[in-house]
């Protein structure tokens, strides 16, 4: 749920994508502060961090062609070989149409 982080005015900001993530982050902020006191990453050794804050952003993520190419794709493993024994005609036809779609993907 962490979109990105940045440092501004000696404060480490975490930008989160969901309010539940912020709530969980706020519960663990003291643990993060104490961990940074013991082991500061090499990239931040020269930067003084006095506080850590988090906020939620509701801006959508801009997808690029490169981002979409990095998405892993897996081959369909379903074969559609299952029996349909549903008495309701509408539900039976719906499940049969799903079965046909699965079989067409193979």
**42-101 per-position pLDDT tens digit:** 777 777 788 889 999 877 766 666 555 666 676 777 888 889 899 999 999 999 999 998
Instruction: Report pLDDT digits (tens) over 12-30.
Output: 899 998 888 888 888 888 8
Amino acid 79: pLDDT = 86
pTM: 0.51
CA 26, CA 98: separation in Å to the nearest integer?
Answer: 44
CA 76, CA 105: separation in Å to the nearest integer?
Answer: 7
């Amino acid at each position: 749920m962490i979109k990105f982080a940045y440092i501004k005015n000696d404060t480490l900001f975490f930008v989160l994508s969901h309010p539940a993530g912020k709530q969980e982050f706020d519960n663990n902020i003291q643990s993060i502060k104490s961990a940074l006191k013991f082991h500061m990453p090499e990239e931040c050794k020269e930067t003084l961090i006095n506080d850590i804050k988090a906020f939620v952003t509701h801006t959508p993520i801009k997808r690029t062609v490169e981002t979409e190419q990095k998405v892993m794709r897996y081959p369909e493993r379903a074969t559609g070989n299952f029996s349909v024994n549903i008495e309701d005609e509408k539900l039976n036809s719906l499940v049969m149409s799903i079965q046909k779609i699965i079989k067409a993907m193979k």
